[in-house]
Amino acid sequence: ATSSGTTGLHAALTAVGVVRGDLVLAPSFSFIASANAIAHCGATPWFVDVAADSWCMSVPALEWALRDQCTRRDGGAVHAASGRRLAAIMPVHVLGNVADMQPITSLAREFGVPVVADAAAAIGATYKGQPLGELADLSVISFNGNKTVTAGGGGAVVGRDSKLVDLVRHLTTTA
Ligand SMILES: *Cc1c(COP(=O)(O)O)cnc(C)c1O
């Protein structure tokens, strides 16, 4: 549990290792909190276009960013032009529409980059029969007043890797 979706995204990005100076790939269409959480880590959002049918991160755009703009280094990916590390990929499940997670996660695995999904407004959504928490390394839900399920304010970070989830729990309980 977190105090908001934004703090959940900040904690999740921190847990997967995003630090000052890094880049995080994010879709160009989202609520500002996606980019804010990246900035709270001292990292910079690197925006790629969204797909016309889902308004979620475009797979061809992500593939272009990884294959044409990055080089492989130390098991991860570096933005060739700037030399900055690509530390995470943040698909956003926009307004309950789920990003095309299968190609996104397989590209991420190929380039050694973790995936933190912004599922702030998508609690209960599924992808090919799978619940959202199964899809990314970590997924973040918001319980803000304008969401599907609300507590007035609040958030949650979910994932399958108990070590990663334990780290988020450690960070969000003042370490
Ligand atoms: C609401 C929302 C957030 C932030 O959640 P808060 O709980 O308001 O901090 C992040 N991303 C998206 C896509 C959202 O809709």
Task: List residues with catalytic annotation.
Answer: 147
- On the question of pLDDT at 133 being above 90, the answer is no
Distance 30 CA to ligand 1 centre (A): 9
Tokens, residue 144: 């803000």
Give the model's pLDDT for residue 7. 98
CA of 39 to the centre of ligand 1 (A): 15
Residue range 142-150: mean pLDDT, rounded:
95
155 pLDDT band, cuts 50/70/90, is very high
Q: Which atom of ligand 1 lies nearest, measured to the CA of 93?
A: 13
Mean pLDDT of 46-59: 97
Beta strands in the chain (DSSP E): 23-27, 44-48, 70-73, 76-79, 85-89, 116-118, 126-127, 130-131, 138-142, 155-158
- pLDDT for residue 96: 86
Tell how far the Cα of 121 is from the centroid of ligand 1, in angstroms: 7
Compute the average pLDDT of residues 109-115. Answer: 98
Which of 144, 150, 172 is the pocket-test mutation for ligand 1 (most atoms within 8 Å of CB)? 144
Q: Which atom of ligand 1 is nearest to the CA of 153?
A: 7
Look over the chain and give the mean of its residue pLDDT values, rounded to a whole number: 96
pTM of the model: 0.97
88-111 per-position pLDDT tens digit = 999 999 998 999 999 999 999 999
Q: Is the dihedral of CA 140, 141, 143, 145 positive or negative?
A: positive
> Helix 59-69 to helix 101-111 angle, to the nearest 10 degrees?
10
Nearest alpha carbon, ligand 1 atom 5: 5
Q: Residue 134's pLDDT is what?
A: 87
Average pLDDT over residues 114-143: 95
For residues 128-145, give the mean pLDDT.
95
How many angstroms separate the alpha carbon of residue 161 from the centre of ligand 1? 23
> What integer pLDDT is reported at residue 175 of this predicted model?
79
What is the pLDDT at residue 157? 98
Task: State the amino acid at position 162 in one-letter form.
Answer: S
